[in-house]
Structure 1
Amino acid sequence: MFHPLPLYIGLRYTRTKRRNHFISFISGTSMVGIALGIVALIVVLSVMNGFHKEIQGRILAMASHATLSDPYGGGIADWRAVLEQVRANPHVVGAAPFVEIQGMLASGARVSGAVVRAIEPVEEDEVADLRQHMISGSVDDLIDGEFNIILGQDLANYLGVGPGDQVTLVTPQVSSTPIGIMPRLKRFTISGLFAVGMADYDRNAAFIHLADGARLMGLGEAIGGVRLKLDDLWQAPRLAREIAYELGGVYRLVDWTQVHSNFFSALAMEKRMMGIILFLIVAVAAFNIVSTLVMVVTDKQSDIAVMRTLGMSPLEVMGIFMVQGTAIGLIGTLVGMVAGVLLAFNVEPVVTGIEALFGIHFLDPDIYYISALPSDVHPGDVIGIGGGAFLMSVLATLYPAWRAAKTQPAEALRYE
């Protein structure tokens, strides 16, 4: 005889035709529900991973992995020596000086706050991808003494200006004049526009030459700080501490995880909450397993009584129905994982086909800056989803199996 016996009988109950077709229907519905829940979870989390990766890439395309500055808010006078020292670190793949100005840009009656970063065009290529995001003009048009400026596309649209026009930069620095204290103003010529696809940059950022910014802020030959690009951005917190220690603790080092911590924490929280909400689909399907097995136990009362009479223990009876419910959960889980991964890897052509079929457009590039759904399948997510669904299916079998084990043979066979 096949051993173990509970496994043999449980699998036999799973694949044989039941007299009660309603039970078969609920059993099939449970499998389909688990599979659909897993597919939804894998696809949604993969798309969210894709969006997060896209957003992170766009942020880090303009932001540095770490920023070195004077802790007291002053400039760095010996910045060339500092650049040589940090570039000597094997984990630093790029370093560039900058001066940051929190000011206002004005054109006619329109005024907008902006973060104006003064850069050295050639060295800026080591730490950022500004050159790749230029839609008009060139970064090389930022020349010392010519007071050219590059604006984000949305900022230029708001101010109603374009290449060749002029804007006035109002800085927080003040100058003494015969009529009193006045903010420092300087007129710049727009030499180019850029578009990253992030409102924080396209709407609020502008770039000028490093020497022009230092002159405007009254720093002389000093700069505001040094931006660093590291060989491993995920190790930025640890590497930033090492570099700060090498510099003798004189300078303040802030890595990208500190600057954007709230934003990325919000994205992570959004992903967790979406996963919990969608996992309820799997939970509902798992509860269907409970109802299926309860009805099977009721339907098999006489079979259970006979097996008990022939010497089968309550634990073995319990194992039969646990095997049956687990088989339902395992089939639904495997089907859902395979279908979910396949759909997640092909979500873009699927969405394109739906758009073509119904004549709709889910992602308008004029609004979302992307025209396709990004998808990034994480094996850890797939394994976690499949494992969680299977565990929930196994737990759903415990109560019906326990009820089967409590069946009394005499009571079950009384009316047979």
Structure 2
Amino acid sequence: MNKKFVNFIIRRYLRFDKKHPFIYISFILAFLGIMTGVATLMIAMGIMNGMDKEFEKKLKVMNYPITVYSSLVNVDEKLLHKLQKKFPDFKYSPYIESSAVIQKNSLNGVMLYGVDFNKESEINYIFKKAVKDLKKPGLFDVVVGSRLFADLGIARGEKVIMIFSKLSPMGFGISPILKKVKIVGVFNSGLVAYDKGIAYMNIEGLKRILHQNHYSGIHIWSPNPFKDIQKIKKAVPPGVGVIGWWEQNGNFFAALRMEKRALFLVLMLIIIVAALNIISSLLMMIMSKRKEIALMLSLGASPKEIKSIFLKLGTFIGILGITIGAMLGGLGIWVLKTFDIIKLPEDVYGVSRLPIDLSLVDFGLIILGAFIIVILSSIYPALKASKTDVLETLRYE
């Protein structure tokens, strides 16, 4: 195959043809469509990845990487020491879980966790921020979420009545346990469900209130929870449950993955529609250049060379669109990351800035998908051109 001849014809066909301007315009539209599709897809997937990672970050902290909890067997101090000895690199925060109601002007139900403030701060940076100014927690000090704190309408350091679900004997009957507690801190997770429905209390104080010596469970931080969870499962006795944060929110992340795939496919349609312009442009060019193609074939050009001309012509337009689109998409991602062009309501999304994080895998899939579409859209017109009937075309010329 004569590459010089093929490249010469391609350069010639890329020039503006005054006799057939619509073909040139169609090529431009195809280029712009592919460029826009690639850039839009990159930015959209970057936003989806950024939001997914932001939600994952929030859920990781509030749900903890790994949780060991009481199932058939109680979790106690002995098990905690055993895990600390076997896995010294992990961080542990034992907790007691209880439901409670805070009484202040109105009743607000919460899920109360009794924790060691120092140990909890090591694995929960949101909690750490809430108690950073607290020197020494009291027995009945409580940290609540920002949304609950606003609903209560109180100031830090103020005391409220907390009603516990556990009942205590009193005379000939039973009554709920009531205790005055002090609100010493406010955390803000960015997720309304947590900020309104979760509170933390000094574990020693909660032990005394509930008369409970064992733990409800142990929150664990590890360098690689996906692998470390198997080690912990082998180390705990039968009857003790072990669960990872990804297992607690499996349906949520499955929905996010499905949404991401659907968005990818929908936006890929932009590139497919643009690729149809390549097909129509090449077919129009073949119809207008039939005599030239037949003449080239009669002068010795092979069908393979003719096929290569139109295949490379369509591929060139597509690759040019992909390249410029990738550059524009990268520029758009940089602009959105650097400047606060789009601001989000923090109480709804948990972040005030638009999070963007385009992974190399997604970028590769976008470029590969666009390239395959471009190649496929160029094959049919190239085959059509290579099968031009020389005798039929030049019979009356």
Please report the TM-score for the alignment, with normalisation by the length of structure 2.
0.91
The 5 A counterparts of 1:254-403 are 254-349=243-338, 352=341, 362-365=343-346, 367-403=348-384
Tell me the residue number matched to 2:219.
227
How much does 1:267 deviate? Answer: 2.0
Q: Is the 8 A contact 2:2 2:305 kept in 1?
A: no
TM-aligned CA distance change 1:203 to 1:293, over 3 Å: same
Q: Is the 8 A contact 1:171 1:184 kept in 2?
A: yes
TM-aligned CA distance change 1:3 to 1:270, over 3 Å: same
How much does 1:5 deviate? Answer: 6.2
How much does 1:45 deviate? Answer: 1.1
Decide which moves more: 58-67 or 277-286: 58-67
How much does 1:90 deviate? Answer: 4.7
Decide which moves more: 251-260 or 186-195: 186-195
The 5 A counterparts of 1:24-103 are 24-72=24-72, 75-77=74-76, 79=77, 81-90=78-87, 92-103=89-100
How much does 1:91 deviate? Answer: 7.5
Structure 2 distance, partners of 1:166, 1:210, is 18
Q: Is the 8 A contact 2:122 2:128 kept in 1?
A: no
Structure 1 distance, partners of 2:269, 2:157, is 57
Q: Is the 8 A contact 2:66 2:220 kept in 1?
A: yes
Amino acid corresponding to residue 143 of structure 1 in structure 2: G
How much does 1:106 deviate? Answer: 2.5
Q: Is the 8 A contact 1:333 1:389 kept in 2?
A: yes
The reply on whether 1:16 has 2:11 as its aligned counterpart is no
Tell me the residue number matched to 1:355.
none
Q: Is the 8 A contact 1:214 1:223 kept in 2?
A: no
Structure 2 distance, partners of 1:11, 1:180, is 95
Structure 2 distance, partners of 1:140, 1:267, is 41
SS in 2 for 1:245: helix
How much does 1:120 deviate? Answer: 0.5
How much does 1:313 deviate? Answer: 3.9
Tell me the residue number matched to 2:388.
407
How much does 1:389 deviate? Answer: 0.4
TM-aligned CA distance change 1:390 to 1:351, over 3 Å: farther
Structure 2 distance, partners of 1:329, 1:373, is 31
- CA-to-partner distance for each residue in 1:309-346, whole Å, 9 max, x for gaps? 23444343222211111111111111111221222122
Tell me the residue number matched to 1:164.
157
Q: Is the 8 A contact 2:191 2:349 kept in 1?
A: no
Structure 1 distance, partners of 2:252, 2:136, is 33
Q: Is the 8 A contact 1:131 1:138 kept in 2?
A: no
Aligned length: 396
Amino acid corresponding to residue 59 of structure 2 in structure 1: I
- CA-to-partner distance for each residue in 1:72-116, whole Å, 9 max, x for gaps? 2x6423x2x3223222345843111101113332322x2222111
The reply on whether 1:204 has 2:201 as its aligned counterpart is no
Q: Is the 8 A contact 1:86 1:92 kept in 2?
A: no
Amino acid corresponding to residue 142 of structure 1 in structure 2: P
TM-aligned CA distance change 1:164 to 1:213, over 3 Å: same
SS in 2 for 1:294: helix
Q: Is the 8 A contact 1:94 1:127 kept in 2?
A: yes
How much does 1:244 deviate? Answer: 1.7
Structure 2 distance, partners of 1:91, 1:250, is 23
How much does 1:295 deviate? Answer: 0.5
TM-aligned CA distance change 1:132 to 1:148, over 3 Å: closer
Tell me the residue number matched to 1:107.
104
Gaps of at least 5 residues in structure 1 are 353-360
Q: Is the 8 A contact 1:42 1:385 kept in 2?
A: yes
Amino acid corresponding to residue 222 of structure 2 in structure 1: L
How much does 1:179 deviate? Answer: 5.8
Q: Is the 8 A contact 1:63 1:128 kept in 2?
A: no
Taking only the aligned residue pairs, the percentage that are identical comes to: 27
Structure 2 distance, partners of 1:304, 1:227, is 74
Q: Is the 8 A contact 2:121 2:128 kept in 1?
A: no
Please report the TM-score for the alignment, with normalisation by the length of structure 1.
0.87
Q: Is the 8 A contact 1:151 1:205 kept in 2?
A: yes
How much does 1:131 deviate? Answer: 4.2
SS in 2 for 1:336: helix
Structure 2 distance, partners of 1:366, 1:76, is 36
SS in 1 for 2:354: coil
- CA-to-partner distance for each residue in 1:183-232, whole Å, 9 max, x for gaps? 3333322122121212132111111011222233331x221111100012
Structure 1 distance, partners of 2:132, 2:315, is 64
Q: Is the 8 A contact 2:120 2:127 kept in 1?
A: no
Tell me the residue number matched to 1:356.
none
Tell me the residue number matched to 2:178.
185
Structure 1 distance, partners of 2:244, 2:188, is 24
Q: Is the 8 A contact 2:120 2:128 kept in 1?
A: no
TM-aligned CA distance change 1:99 to 1:143, over 3 Å: same
Q: CA RMSD in A?
A: 2.4
Gaps of at least 5 residues in structure 2 are none
